[in-house]
Amino acid sequence: MENFEDSIREVAEKLLRDKKVDLIIGYEQGTLPLRTTPCFVEKLEDVKKLVWNASCDANLSKYVVGKKEKVGVVAKGCDARLIAVCAVENQIPRENVVVIGVPCQGVIDRKKIEAKLEGKEVLEAVVKDEQIKVEGEGFEVVLPKKDFLCDSCHTCRHRNPPIYDVLIGEKLPQSTDKNEFAEVSSLESKSTEERWEHFKEELSTCIRCYACRNVCPLCYCKMCFVDQSMPTWFGKTNDLSDTMIYHIVRAFHVAGRCVDCGACTRACPMAINLRELVKKTEKIMKERYNYEAGLGLEEVPPLGEFKMEDSQEFIK
């Protein structure tokens, strides 16, 4: 990891010096332990701010959408996939972006650590050799990193960026044979009634803060359907029906585009498991159209094309 950080700085410095890019988007150390924040580097002397560690969880492709200048962006597997999706959708001019691909070993889910510590405040944390050492007032624990990764990272099959201009380090083996749809499948095996009750309970805590939408690189619409008032499609209340519809339509909107980066789940202040809502769309796309988003620049989004022989068993 250490040398990843050095390589990132080296590459960033070179790109800036050669005027290949005007801006580097990466991560810098946050003010709290286990946190990083997006970092925008325009000057050579700021390059040293860039860091790389297991807390680099923000999806930086969000900041590339809509940028006019040439940017270099530090991208994990999922970030790079989203850059590809946005490039396919003409939201990112690919030639303007230098993707600094970083093979990723998964990012830490702070919510899991918070849950483990039962509300005790972490004052210092060190991640080393697959272990997280957290310290606070009157306690010190060492946690195995693999148990505290994000759910998306557990089943990630694209740890290496599928598109990149510069690769930091070496590609990782695609190791996981875990079923990424296990959660979805277990829900599917339940009855409609049970599923409804499950989602009702899960979403009843939603406060409609739209953090999940705002953090998502795919939500780049200038006017979101929930903000629209002429016509007002759906209510803005946190009435169950409105909340449910917001989440259904959000899932529908990312169908065939979502790469399960987990940003929405991490952003949710109410700890709603948003992953199980959107993961289904990925499953539908895979089963029906054998499509996985963000693996290349030549792909056509499944809802942007059709085939005569598409499945239609549901049509009377």
Partner 1 sequence: MKNAEEKWEPKILAFLCNWCSYAGADLAGISRIQYPPNIRVVRVPCSGRVNPYYIIKALQRGWDGVLVSGCHPGDCHYISGNLVARRRFAVLKDLLEYFGIEPERVNFSWVSAAEGEKFANVVTDVVKEVKALGPAKRLVKR
Q: How far is the CB of 250 from partner 1 (least distance, A)?
A: 11
How many C-alpha atoms does 271 have within 13 Å on its Cβ side?
A: 7
Q: Which is nearer to partner 1, 109 or 260 (CB)?
A: 260
Nearest to 74 by CA among 63, 66, 85: 63
Residues that bind partner 1 (CB under 8 A): 184, 187-188, 192-200, 225, 233-235, 239, 241-242, 244-245, 247-249, 251-252, 255-256, 277, 280-281, 284-285, 288-289, 302-303, 306-308, 310-312, 314-316
> Using CA atoms, how far apart are residues 97 and 83, in angstroms rounded to an integer?
9
Q: How far is the CB of 283 from partner 1 (least distance, A)?
A: 9
Question: Torsion-angle region of residue 138: left (phi > 0), alpha (psi -120 to 50) or beta?
Answer: left
Q: How far is the CB of 251 from partner 1 (least distance, A)?
A: 6
> Using CA atoms, how far apart are residues 256 and 279, in angstroms rounded to an integer?
10
Q: Which is nearer to partner 1, 61 or 281 (CB)?
A: 281
Q: Which is nearer to partner 1, 170 or 308 (CB)?
A: 308
Q: Which is nearer to partner 1, 30 or 301 (CB)?
A: 301
> Using CA atoms, how far apart are residues 93 and 293, in angstroms rounded to an integer?
18
Q: Which two tokens stand for residue 45?
A: 């002397």
Q: How far is the CB of 229 from partner 1 (least distance, A)?
A: 14
> Using CA atoms, how far apart are residues 87 and 97, in angstroms rounded to an integer?
10
Q: How far is the CB of 52 from partner 1 (least distance, A)?
A: 37
Q: Which is nearer to partner 1, 250 or 266 (CB)?
A: 250
Q: Which is nearer to partner 1, 135 or 276 (CB)?
A: 276
DSSP states of 143-193 as a string?
A: EEGGGGB-HHHHT-S--S-SS-SEE-S-PPP------TTHHHHHHHTS-HH
Q: How far is the CB of 176 from partner 1 (least distance, A)?
A: 24
Nearest to 25 by CA among 223, 66, 54, 220: 66
> Using CA atoms, how far apart are residues 76 and 69, in angstroms rounded to an integer?
21
Task: Answer for the pair 257, 161: CB distance below 8 angstroms, yes or no.
Answer: no
Q: Which is nearer to partner 1, 1 or 248 (CB)?
A: 248
Q: How far is the CB of 307 from partner 1 (least distance, A)?
A: 8
